[in-house]
């Protein structure tokens, strides 16, 4: 069962001139997103961010913590029934903690099964490409 905590990681490179967006495989919804995932029971959000970053892209790196971390909340009522069923029945809202990670300038991700494509783009293009408005807004706030 998923908890009510998730993380999103905004991977940048070349002094934040480029932002990584990843395309979810058709079986995972088929849309553009950022590296993201659930916080496991007993796990701290920053630890979950590092774990998800490694699992989804192969990158082992630190994530920025502190005042530049952005959070947003979404309700599970916005989600399809099959997604709601993945959460503990007591979870009504999900808190997403967003972190930033700087990747080496020549680094390219090695995608896991959840993703079938990726691209590096400007922050403005990334914001416009993301499916979820709350994630796009958080990216804009963090990099703006």
| Residue-wise pLDDT tens digits, 31-50 | 999 999 999 999 999 999 99
Give residue 129's pLDDT: 97
Question: Among all chains, which residue has been given the structure tokens 């408005």?
Answer: 133
Helices (H), the chain: 45-57, 81-84, 123-129, 133-143
**40: Cβ contacts below 8 Å, ≥ 6 apart:** 3, 48
pTM of this prediction? 0.92
Domains and CATH numbers, the chain: 5-143 (3.90.79.10)
Two structure tokens written together for 20: 């990584």
41 vs 80, residue with greater confidence:
41
| Residue 67 scores a pLDDT above 70 | no
């Amino acid at each position: 069962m998923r908890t009510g905590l998730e993380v999103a990681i905004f991977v940048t490179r070349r002094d934040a001139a480029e932002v990584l967006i990843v395309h979810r495989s058709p079986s995972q919804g088929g849309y553009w997103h950022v590296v993201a995932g659930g916080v496991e029971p007993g796990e701290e959000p920053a630890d979950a961010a590092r774990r998800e970053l490694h699992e989804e892209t192969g990158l082992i790196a630190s994530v920025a913590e502190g005042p530049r971390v952005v959070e947003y909340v979404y309700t599970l009522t916005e989600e399809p029934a099959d997604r709601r069923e993945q959460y503990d029945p007591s979870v009504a809202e999900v808190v997403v903690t967003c972190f930033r990670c700087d990747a080496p300038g020549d680094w390219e991700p090695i995608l896991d099964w959840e993703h079938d494509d990726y691209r590096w783009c400007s922050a403005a293009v990334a914001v416009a490409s993301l499916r979820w408005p709350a994630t796009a807004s958080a990216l804009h706030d963090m990099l703006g």
